Amino acid sequence: MRTLIRTTILSTVFPQLTKPGSLPYSQRASICCLRERANANPIVLNNNISRQLSRTFFRSNSFNGVTVAGSTHFRKPCAFMSTLPIMSNVRVLVDMDGVLADFEKHFLAKFREQYPDEPYIEVKDRRGFYVTEQYEKIKPDLKAKCLEIMEAPGFFLNLPPIPGGLEAVRAMDQMDGVDVFFCTASINKYKYCVTEKFQWIDNHFGAEFINKLVLTRDKTVVSGDLIIDDKPEITGAEKNPAWEHILFSTPQNSDIHKPNQRRLSGWKDPDEWKQIIDSKRQEKEMRMSAKQ
């Protein structure tokens, strides 16, 4: 790994970079800390006012021909300067339904409650991405009943969290060099679904996480390094999405076997998802080194 850093006293640089309104803490220029490598822990030179820092900081700027970049993502003030390209964070897109929110469990409970005399499918026996398709095969009129449940007010709002998912996303959010976003789609009849997804994030993560919600019907056009999603095939307008699709294991995709597709078995073992992120970071570093 090539060294990105010159141990320059950035406090002499910051005042000239921090134009009012563009960089939020010009008066705080005495803060600086340097990182020797893009993936190394920041060396804190002065963190007396770190509590004042917001997450909104500049990502990169140019000063006297060198790139200067920094972020408060690291919870400590940090900055580094380099004449080399700056290694960007690993951006992780996390799906909601089936990954963070337990759609299948809640759906089955509602279905049995509303249609106690109809046949149903245990969660462990669900196969195929769309619940409507499997139920329709049992009885054609069940498709409409399935849709009625999903389209009802409160359905998406009351999805229970999948164990470990909330903690994992919060931990990702705290990781050096990682940006996490929610990337989720709405059902066709979106009247309640869309607003309830925002509300779900607010309820379980807090209002500040609303800024991380990407609601789209086409995830292929969203940029990221990784997308953790339980849908076996993510297709759309972009034939070569920027992200690597990590298939989140569920009963309904248990019969899918793609030799080159990595899986995440669940959230219970934090080492599993951390290893995936680390490997992606290493891959990005190698790609960057190869370009230099």
Q: 97 vs 104, which CB is nearer to Mg ion?
A: 97
Q: What residues numbered 5-24 form the site for Mg ion, per CB under 5 A? A: none
Residue nearest to Mg ion (CB): 98
Residue 123 CB, shortest distance to Mg ion, in Å, is 14
Q: Please, which residue, 95 or 102, has the CB nearer to Mg ion?
A: 95
Q: Which of 199, 164, 180 is nearest to 95 (CA)?
A: 180
Binding test (CB under 5 A) with Mg ion, winner from 42, 77, 98, 165: 98
User: Residues 196, 230, 241, 253: which binds Mg ion (CB under 5 A)?
Assistant: 230
Closest CA relative to residue 122, chosen from 134, 137, 114, 133 = 134
Number of residues that bind Mg ion (CB under 5 A): 4
Three state DSSP letters for the chain: CCCCCCCCCHHHCHHHHCCCCCCCCHHHCCCCEECCCCCCCCEECCCCCHHHCCCCCCCCEEECCEEEEECCCCCCCCEEEECCCCCCCEEEEECCECCCECHHHHHHHHHHHHCCCCCCCCHHHCCCCCHHHHHHHHCCCHHHHHHHHHHCCCCCCCCCECCCHHHHHHHHHHCCCEEEEEEECCCCCCCCHHHHHHHHHHHHHCHHHHHHEEECCCHHHCCCCEEEECCCCCCCCCCCCCCEEEEECCHHHCCCCCCCCCEECCCCCHHHHHHHHHHHHHHHHHHHHHHC
Residue among 72 and 250 whose Cβ is closer to Mg ion: 250
Query: Among residues 53 and 169, whose Cβ is nearest to Mg ion?
Result: 169
What does the block give as tokens for 285? 């570093």
| Span of 54-62, 96-104, 210-218, 259-267 interacting with Mg ion by CB under 5 A | 96-104
Tell me the closest approach of the beta carbon of residue 89 to Mg ion, in angstroms: 24
Site string for Mg ion, 22-41 (x = CB under 5 A): --------------------
User: Is 141 annotated as catalytic?
Assistant: no
Catalytic residue, candidates 97, 176, 179, 230: 97
- Binding piece for Mg ion, criterion CB under 5 A, among 47-55, 159-167, 223-231, 273-281: 223-231
Write each residue from 180 to 219 as x if it is in contact with Mg ion (CB under 5 A), else as -, in one continuous string.
Answer: ----------------------------------------
Kindly state whether residue 97 participates in binding Mg ion, applying the rule CB under 5 A. Answer: yes
Please identify which residue in the block is written with the tokens 């779900």.
200
37 contacts 283 by C-beta, under 8 angstroms: no
Q: Which of 10, 25, 79, 95 binds Mg ion (CB under 5 A)?
A: 95
Minimum distance from residue 219 beta carbon to Mg ion (Å)? 10
**Interface with Mg ion, residue 102, by CB under 5 A:** no
- Please say whether the beta carbons of 3 and 11 come within 8 A: no
Residues 215/184, Cβ–Cβ less than 8 Å? yes
Q: Which residue, 74 or 200, has its beta carbon nearer to Mg ion? A: 200
Q: How far is the CB of 98 from Mg ion (least distance, A)?
A: 4
In the bound state with Mg ion, the residue whose beta carbon lies nearer, of 32 and 99, is 99
Catalytic residue list contains 95 = yes
Q: Which residues bind Mg ion (CB under 5 A)?
A: 95, 97-98, 230
Residues annotated as catalytic are 95, 97
